[in-house]
Structure 1
């Protein structure tokens, strides 16, 4: 297919820090509203129940015109206000899933309010749009359970060494808080752990949730993906703990000189994925990761594609580059629509930047 230039659309939400994209709604909902495309994005500066937004496109309009951004405020019940930093979203079987970063602020420590996963039904979102009210958002507060499961899964992977500052402010400081305040999660974060920053999520064909890590990466600078095996169980059983299995490495993406992490994921069906890769953290913002690893700011943003095999052991896979973004670095989400056009959400000051790469 032939690529054309990126179409630009600027949208406004409050807050305007949009992350990730995933497709939602079938023909019935789209037709009732006069739309031909609808994507969920999440606003990472809000609590989970305030983080949902829709980016919708008027049916038949050119792809660089007639987009709108709609807030969808949800009801989180007793978990209202107990979460922050939504970084990824994915849809499957009529539900939209949101994932917290599991990370911390740029100066640490790790934050339990960022350790969560949530879901809301697409039907409830549609009903709220058409009838008013707030859709119910189910939130599972993980208390570093996913951090633990990912670190255990990565035990045999040679990772970029955690620098002394990162160990101090992310790992040691978090352990100290847990012990001093006798937190329920005390003992879940271990001295040998790496902090985990999830910024991408998408479902495999078998229902496992593929998590893309912005950090850590391998010692050779390659991005890492970890499979969460029991997503549904986390919502069905209050005593369930996350279980992570296979680990995948994109072996021809990133390097020692310019390590690259995952920023977004989307599936074209089966186990074929589109992804955004880029730097390990934003430069100029006093990020601890970059203080220890300044080379982590060098990787450019790219749209890549890869396919995962059924190999139960995981392993290294290759990827192809679809688009290089040049000077545009803060690509936060990707969704490929029913016509094969790629849509990206970009973190820009003061607005939500949507870009569309049209294929003829």
Structure 2
């Protein structure tokens, strides 16, 4: 048989008390702590980044359910603050400009302006966009009304207060009409808005990625186009040399093309080339390409005329040597006009 002395029993009792205290502390961790308040000013005073659920009066929801909502928001939507009120009767809030608001107006002004201006709520940021990201859902049970205060991240994507009535408030209305499910009204609102916000931001990310990829492709096109332009400049220089051999006295642009200026332009384009500037530089390069192409077309036309003149001369010589020489006089007359 085990025997315990008195000191051992005292030790076990103290240990049991400590374990019970630890268990109670765990139940009251910030992740599950629900904040009760008497007036809306209390919400501003008590707000902390880890406190998400504020309750006034008897809203017919048990503590454990409220704690579950607090935990869910902490885990999935930490930028949200939910204020659940039995009623707004007796509420009063004095704004910074000296005006006093009462009832639901007091609550809405306090949550819409006071919370951001007087706490770090206004410093909450979206992890991707770095925009302000604090949002508020408020429910007035007796007044049968919801309120919503959007962040910049939401407002800029068609998810702001202007889109609340008749659009974003519908999940909350459906939850309340289907048995007065207060917690579902809050949770469904948060899920709906956050899902739409996530899709909108992802669309922006995808669009930016496509734009970045297009900028990279434009930079690659620019590099290839500059290489091709240099090859055409080499063609121009060879064609110009042949043109000068055929026309030693020529002094126009075909005899002296501005290839050095073209090369300087290409070098400048290369030095300025980045994915962000590539599209604009391609337009500048097109002007150089047009000038190069005009010269190549000019050499081709000059060569075609020279070839045609050579063929005519050969045909004329054949006619002059014909046995009857019937065309000699006409050829001499025609050549006098050339």
* TM-score, scaled to structure 2: 0.21
- Bigger relative CO (Cα 8 Å, ≥ 6 apart): 1
Task: Give the structure with the higher percent strand.
Answer: 1
Higher helix share: 2
Larger-gyration structure (1/2): 2
